[in-house]
Every structure is written in structure tokens, then in C-alpha cells.
Amino acid sequence: MRILVGISGGIAAYKAITLVRRLRDAGVDVRVVLTEAAAQFVTPLSLQAVSGAPVRSSLFDAEAEAGMDHIALARWADQIIVAPASADVLARMANGMANDLLTTLILATEAPVTVAPAMNRHMWAHPAVQANLATLKARGVRVIGPASGVQACGEVGAGRMEEPEIIASALLAPPTAVRWQGRHVVITAGGTQEPIDPVRFIANRSSGKMGFALAAAAQATGAAVTLICGPNALATPAGVTRVDVHTALEMHAAVLGQDKMDVFIGAAAVADYRVAQPAPQKIKKTRDTDTLTLTLVKNPDIIHAVAQRSPKPFVVGFAAETEQLLQHARQKRITKGIDLICANRVDDNLAFDQPDNAVTAIWANGERAFARAEKAALATQLIELIDKVIEQD
Ligand code: C5P
């Protein structure tokens, strides 16, 4: 995916550096365009370093135009994000101005445009700004944020630029034709932590990225999405309700506590076993023993419990396997009562804690292999397949 990041002048411009990094982490090809005012807040050099490409700001840079002219740049982009979008750039966009490179590109592109406004709360509330925003929205420009909180000017209110992680996940979830308004999608993500004593636990290598990407993709359909996740450092996708848990038992309780579920996606790597009796105090090393034995007991199978519910939601599971991938996945689908399972090969460079993934989806009447792709793109394709399979049922 190719994203053009436009940065306009404002204190929040420093957050655009993190946005560019997050996009690059996800494998996105990024080009940065600064307005003249933005260059007062962040330097082209920093953005060149994080984006890995030359940064542009002038429409009249003969050398840059000789490389990729502004029309070529407008065609190059799959998406344009303006973050932060100042009151000034919103006004210029709303009026169709083309008095610098960024606004010219926005007029010349056919790619979807998103803005992440950032400004003082009074400016944000001003009818002129709100009217410009309404014009842009009516033209199909997507608006992310602003968030509320303490502002750089010391005031508290709406106008802070949305966090870069949230903007990145909204951009990475590609648009979808699936419409799930009125449905509730519950997704588990990440690994669980099973305590051994107050300072130690048993965990696994799951990062939660696939489940978070699925939550963003499900949210893009208009569904209400609840994301129940083990400990992780990921930002909650915009509009998603997040429930944090640690152990498999907590995840089990949180999932079964949801009253209405239309689709359940078990993307979490739930610990199969927990320590039977975690020690109340830190376990000490002793001189006379070289081994320590922990007794483990089986955790409840969350996905199996969901599949037994009546009415039964459409149940989607993952089978992360290191060998005999498809055989194990087909078997697991049947024994656990799963409607559609994603067989997920695990090795050092795939699946766990990676930005991309490759899966084979298996359901009662078919199988489909998805080529290796960024998790966000894969998540949207999976949601589209789930929608088709639900329609066939
Ligand atoms: O048996 P295995 O752990 O490989 O099954 C994987 C699938 O089952 C995943 O979808 C996972 O989220 C789900 N699972 C679960 N509860 C467990 C173990 C796995 O929901 N206790």
C-alpha cells in the first residue's frame, strides 16, 4: 500500500513522525508532503529519515518535479492522510484551493482522502471550521478525531490530534463493501498470561496484531465490535470497545459475559493450561533442588463454549500450527464446532509478532488460501469471506 502523508502546521506535527513510523512498520510505502507552516514544527530531514524517501513541500521545486511531478505523485498514492490537519488546511481544502503542493495533490488525486484535525478547542468549535468540515465530509473525505484532553495551549477539550496508532489502524483497514450495521462482533486477541507466582507467568509469542486488525476491519463494516485481549502494547482501533484481561479464565468470563453475539472470532492464543495453584509469594531458588515442578491444569476452551451457545453466533477460529497444518486445522474445525477456521502456519518469519500473515480459510463447503499480506489487508479479505459464507448458510 502507498500512502501520502500530508502534514500541516501545528504542534501536533511531531506526532506525524510516529504516524509515518507506524505505517512503515506495517510495510506501507510512505511519501511525505509538508506545508510551509509544517516545516516550522518538524524538519524535512526527520521525515525523510523515518519515511525513507525525499520529503516535498514546494510546488515549484524543479528538481523534485523532474523526478515525480505533482500529478504523478497524486496518481501514485493509494490514500492521502492529512495529519495534523489545521483549520487553515481544512479551509483551503473545502474551498478547492491549490495554492501549495499539498492542496494541489488533494485536488489532483483520485485516492481517498482522510484528515486528522488538530487545533485549539475554540477553533475546532468555530462555525467556520465546522462548516468546512461538513463540506469535506459531504465530498467523502474521512475525518478521524480529534480526541479530547489536555491541549498544547493548556486548555482542555476537543481538538487534540488522534493518536498515530489509531490513525494508522484506520488507514490500514482497507475500505470494504461489507455492511454489518446492527451486528455485534466479538473478537479475542493476543496471548494470555497464566501466573506462576506474583512476579512470573507463562505466556506465548502472540502479539495480538491479527486480532486487532480484524477488529479494525470488522469496525469498518459498521458493526459494533468488542475486542477482548490479553496484555499487549497495541492501540485500540477507533470505535472499538476494548476489554483487557490477563488469564484464560478471565478471557473466558469476559467472552461468555457478552449477551448478544452475531460473529465470534477467536484470534487469541489462549493458554491451554494454567498453573494449578499459583504460589502466593515469589518462589525462591533453593540450594538443594535443581528442578522445579509446576502442575498445570487445563483451561476451558473458549471457542468451544461459544459454539455451544444458543443462538449460536457464526464462529471463526485460528489454528496456529508448526506441522501438518491443514489436517490439524480441518480436524480442529469439526471438534470445536467452528464454522470457519484459519489455518495459520507458524515459523520464525510468519504469523506470531509479524506485520504480515498467510492463512488458509476452511469452512464446511470450501477452502481458500490467502497469499501472504499485511495483517490489515488480510483482515479485510477475511471479513469479506466470512460475510459470503454467512450469506450462503
Ligand atoms: O486448540 P488450539 O488452541 O490450537 O485452537 C485454536 C483456536 O481455539 C483459536 O481460535 C483460539 O482462539 C481458540 N481457543 C480458545 N480457548 C482455548 C484455546 C484455544 O478459544 N482455551
Domain boundaries, the chain: 2-172, 184-392
How many residues make up the chain in this entry?
393
| Global pTM value | 0.75
- In sequence order, the 6+-apart residues with CB closer than 8 A to the CB of 79 are 1, 2, 3, 4, 111, 112, 113, 114, 171
- The Å distance, Cα 171 to ligand 1 centre, comes to 29
Quick: pLDDT tens for 305-336: 999 999 999 999 999 998 999 999 999 999 99
Dist. CA 213–CA 161, nearest whole Å: 21
Q: Is the CB of 319 under 6 A from ligand 1?
A: yes
Proportion of the chain above pLDDT 90, given as a percent: 79
Pocket probe for ligand 1: among 261, 299, 301, 346, the residue whose CB has the most ligand atoms within 8 Å is 301
Atom of ligand 1 nearest to the CA of 328: 4
Atom of ligand 1 nearest to the CA of 304: 20
Protein residue whose Cα sits closest to atom 19 of ligand 1: 270
Pocket probe for ligand 1: among 270, 344, 346, the residue whose CB has the most ligand atoms within 8 Å is 270
CATH number of 184-392: 3.40.50.10300
The catalytic position among 53, 153, 326, 390 is 153
Quick: pLDDT tens for 259-293: 999 999 999 999 999 999 999 999 999 898 899 99
Quick: pLDDT tens for 127-175: 999 999 999 999 989 999 898 888 888 888 889 999 998 899 888 877 7
Q: What is the pLDDT of residue 235?
A: 83
Question: Given 3.40.50.1950, 3.40.50.10800, 3.40.50.2300, 3.40.630.30, which CATH number is that of 2-172?
Answer: 3.40.50.1950
Mean pLDDT computed over 90-102:
97
Dist. CA 105–CA 119, nearest whole Å: 23
Dist. CA 33–CA 43, nearest whole Å: 11
> Is 229 a catalytic site residue?
no
DSSP three-state, residue 65: helix
Q: Is the CB of 303 under 6 A from ligand 1?
A: yes
Helix H or strand E encompassing 47: helix 44-51
Quick: pLDDT tens for 170-222: 888 777 889 999 999 999 999 999 999 999 999 999 999 999 999 999 998 98
- What is the bridge-based pairing of β-strands 356-363 and 340-345? antiparallel
